[in-house]
């Protein structure tokens, strides 16, 4: 069976709910206040099985100007709008605003129901139909007009036929594949079942028992689809598009709210910044604030055109900075309404499509414009290449991009493979790519780091493999770092030589290979052993090696090799320090504490050696200072 979601739109009291009741037999005004006042306040929902092969879900939206935010929530994700216009009043202010909102939300097809024709002559009803149709077509929405009366039943079958024809013409009713996505519009609890959320499943295929994530502005919750209901009927599986109630396992009623998003997308997350294509219905100044409506969520957005202009007069790329986080996915449609921040009142100012849900804080405007224009135009090849250049030297991840950008997953992965094939991207893992220029830059950085290490530590056989990986990963990420290191040591003519866990340049022989340097190293080791707890200064070692640079290298090596320790400005033989440590531990265990005077007695040394050695034992937690300045047993 095909599933299609349509929504009503139109001015207050033009008969939307009465028409839905006549079409479906369902009274969507469920609240006592709605029934008492005779107007729709909240969204209403009704199943409409047009025939055995087609089930239409109708979302009945309020028409009052103060409730347009509910209408926008209802229209998000619909396939066709059922625009209701009263024959005796014709097009009214909320009719126009609803039409504008539908266009901005991506609605492409409309059926106009001219209601209450039992109150006027046919000529007046046809004039209302012509005006409404002209308004829709001005906005680029194809429309069919039907005259009807919910009161008498006249024309009701024509409405049904017009909706069926619109569905057939647009090819709607097929499954929408992709990530599961549902914006929550109602939350309640059912005795014995727990928390239930409802909304329009706009994308994806959901099965009972599937793991889900509930994304909130401030957190994310793990849940399970414990039960699925489509228009009151239990289902083991639900496919978009359809109205859906999900019994969520593992989530409390108070933890879920209207505006949250239920999804199986592991990469989606809340955001406070969106890069968008914004169609302005009236000029918007840079920094203007407006109410943002997206799905069933809302926030206040500050409008900042991406390019250097202080006034957005028609359409353009913009950055929206939000005062509270929301959950948005790439491709989501939105509406901006009013300039006030104290409520939903005001007019529709504009709207459009989310291009990037998590844009970088700082990036060159030219790169950002190139990327966003490619996303807006649906050009995955250009978008992937522009993103790879923007993210460089870090890689782009094909499986994470659909949540962020308004391009389908399959198109992005295909684009990555094409760019890889012609050499414009380099594959470094499954659906992971980086630019060739970035690889070259990181290779140059790696060779530079190895060379710098040789100069700093000429006695070393090379830089530690893990150290190089970590240093490269700081800017490029671990995947690119691993890819580059592997490439540099591979092949018949590697640019780096791997010896055990060290890497060196092919031209590096190493000071350790030099007989004079080797002799200096052995002489310093012997001098350290002879000095014992008296220690050696750097100047003394420089006298032994006859070269201050070699002295620094030798001292760095003996510390790295754990043959000496540095304390203060002195270097001490490690074996001598270990022996002293045992003496100190025995003394503290026997006496309970160690004074500086006792330290001098044990070692036979002065303050020049005892103070730095005590500080060394404090650092290594062999000892610790008490309140008197004496040492007691350390914690460690």
Q: What is the pLDDT of residue 412?
A: 84
- Provide the pLDDT for residue 256: 94
Superfamily name with CATH number, domain 271-356 = Translation factors (2.40.30.10)
pLDDT of residue 455: 82
Least confident of 71-75, 198-202, 230-234: 71-75
pLDDT recorded at residue 47: 84
Residue 90 pLDDT more than 50? yes
What is the per-residue pLDDT for 35?
A: 40
Tens of pLDDT, residues 605-622: 999 999 999 999 999 999
User: pLDDT category, 402, cuts 50, 70, 90?
Assistant: confident
- Give the position of tokens 């270097």: 571
At residue 162, the pLDDT reads 96
pLDDT at 636: 64
Task: Please indicate whether the domains covering 438-512 and 515-633 agree at the CATH topology level.
Answer: yes
Question: For the domain 438-512, what is the CATH code?
Answer: 1.10.10
Looking at residue 343, its pLDDT comes to 41
The predicted structure's pLDDT at residue 68: 54
CB within 8 Å of 292: residues ≥ 6 apart: 298, 299, 300, 301, 320, 322, 326, 334, 335, 336
Tell me what pLDDT residue 67 has.
Answer: 45
515-633: CATH topology is: Arc Repressor Mutant, subunit A (1.10.10)
Of residues 587 and 340, the one with the higher pLDDT is 587
What's the pLDDT tens digit per position in 515-567? 677 788 889 999 999 999 999 999 999 898 888 888 888 888 898 889 999 99
Fold (CATH) for 365-434: Arc Repressor Mutant, subunit A (1.10.10)
Q: Which CATH class is domain 181-263?
A: mainly beta
Give mean pLDDT, residues 355-372. Answer: 87
Which single residue is written with the structure tokens 């399970």? 224
Residue 94 confidence (pLDDT): 84
* Mean pLDDT computed over every residue of the chain: 87
Quick check: 513 pLDDT over 60?
A: no
pLDDT for 117 equals 95
Whole-model pTM: value is 0.76
Nearest of 458, 610, 576 to residue 521 by alpha carbon: 458
State mean pLDDT over 410-414: 85
The reported pLDDT for the residue numbered 121 is 93
Flag whether pLDDT at 480 surpasses 90: yes
Domain parsing of the chain, residue ranges? 2-170, 181-263, 271-356, 365-434, 438-512, 515-633
Mean pLDDT along residues 97-111: 89
Q: Is the pLDDT of residue 156 over 90?
A: yes
Which own/partner pairs from 37-44 qualify as long-range (CB within 8 Å, at least 24 positions apart)?
A: 38/13, 39/12, 39/13, 39/63, 39/64, 40/16, 40/67, 41/67, 41/70, 42/70, 43/70, 43/73, 43/74, 43/185, 44/17, 44/20
Domain 2-170: give its CATH code. 3.40.50.300
């Amino acid at each position: 069976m095909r599933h299609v979601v349509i929504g009503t739109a139109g001015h207050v009291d033009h008969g939307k709910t009465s028409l839905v009741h006549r079409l479906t037999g369902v009274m969507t005004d469920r609240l006592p206040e709605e029934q008492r006042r005779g107007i729709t306040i909240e969204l209403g929902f009704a199943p409409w099985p047009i025939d055995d092969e087609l089930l239409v879900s109708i979302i009945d939206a309020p028409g009052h100007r103060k409730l347009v935010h509910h209408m926008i929530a209802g229209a998000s994700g619909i396939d066709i709008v059922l625009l209701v216009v009263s024959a005796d009043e014709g097009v009214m202010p909320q009719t126009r605003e609803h039409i504008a909102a539908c266009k901005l939300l991506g609605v492409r097809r409309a059926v106009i129901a001219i209601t209450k024709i039992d109150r006027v002559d046919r000529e007046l009803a046809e004039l209302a139909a012509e005006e409404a149709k002209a308004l829709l077509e001005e906005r680029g929405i194809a429309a069919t007009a039907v005259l009807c009366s919910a009161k008498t039943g006249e024309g009701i079958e024509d409405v049904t036929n017009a909706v069926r024809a619109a569905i057939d013409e647009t090819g709607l009713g097929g499954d929408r594949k992709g990530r599961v996505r549902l914006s929550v519009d109602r939350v309640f609890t059912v005795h014995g079942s727990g928390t239930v959320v409802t909304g329009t499943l706009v994308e994806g295929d959901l099965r009972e028992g599937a793991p889900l994530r509930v994304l909130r502005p401030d957190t994310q919750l793990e849940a399970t689809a414990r039960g699925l209901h489509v228009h009151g009927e239990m289902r083991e599986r639900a496919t978009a598009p359809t109205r859906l109630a999900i019994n969520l396992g593992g989530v409390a009623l108070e933890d879920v709210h209207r505006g949250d998003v239920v999804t199986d997308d592991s990469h989606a997350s809340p955001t406070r910044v969106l890069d968008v294509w914004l169609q302005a219905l009236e000029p918007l100044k840079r920094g203007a604030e407006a109410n943002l409506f997206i799905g069933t969520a809302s926030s206040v957005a500050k409008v900042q055109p991406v390019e250097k202009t202080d006034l957005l007069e028609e359409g353009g790329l913009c950055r929206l900075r939000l005062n509270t986080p929301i959950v948005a996915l790439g491709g989501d449609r939105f509406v901006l309404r009013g300039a006030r921040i104290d409520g939903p009142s005001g007019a529709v100012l504009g709207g459009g499509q989310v291009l990037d849900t998590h844009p970088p804080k700082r990036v060159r405007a030219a790169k950002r414009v190139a990327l966003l224009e490619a996303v807006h135009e649906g050009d995955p090849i250009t978008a992937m290449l522009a993103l790879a250049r923007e993210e460089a030297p870090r890689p782009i991840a094909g499986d994470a991009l659909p949540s962020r950008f308004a391009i389908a997953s399959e198109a992005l992965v295909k684009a990555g493979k094409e760019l890889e094939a012609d050499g414009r991207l380099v594959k470094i893992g499954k659906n992971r790519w980086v630019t060739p220029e970035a690889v070259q830059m990181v290779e140059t950085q790696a060779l530079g780091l190895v060379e710098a290490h040789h100069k700093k530590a000429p006695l070393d056989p090379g830089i530690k493999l893990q150290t190089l990986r970590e240093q490269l990963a700081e800017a490029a990420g671990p995947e690119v770092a691993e890819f580059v290191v592997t490439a540099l040591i591979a092949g018949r003519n590697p640019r780096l030589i791997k010896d055990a866990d060290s890497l060196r340049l092919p031209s590096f022989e190493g000071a350790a290979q030099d007989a004079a340097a080797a002799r200096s190293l052995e002489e310093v080791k012997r001098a350290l052993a002879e000095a014992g707890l008296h220690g050696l200064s750097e100047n003394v070692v420089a006298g032994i090696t006859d070269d201050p640079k070699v002295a620094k290298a030798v001292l760095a090596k003996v510390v790295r090799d754990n043959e000496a320790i540095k304390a203060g400005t002195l270097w001490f033989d490690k074996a001598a320090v270990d022996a002293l440590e045992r003496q100190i531990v025995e003394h503290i265990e026997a006496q309970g504490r160690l004074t500086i005077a006792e330290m001098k007695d044990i070692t036979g040394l002065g303050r020049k050696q005892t103070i730095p050695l005590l500080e060394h034992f404090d650092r290594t937690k062999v000892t610790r200072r008490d309140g008197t300045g004496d040492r007691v047993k350390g914690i460690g």
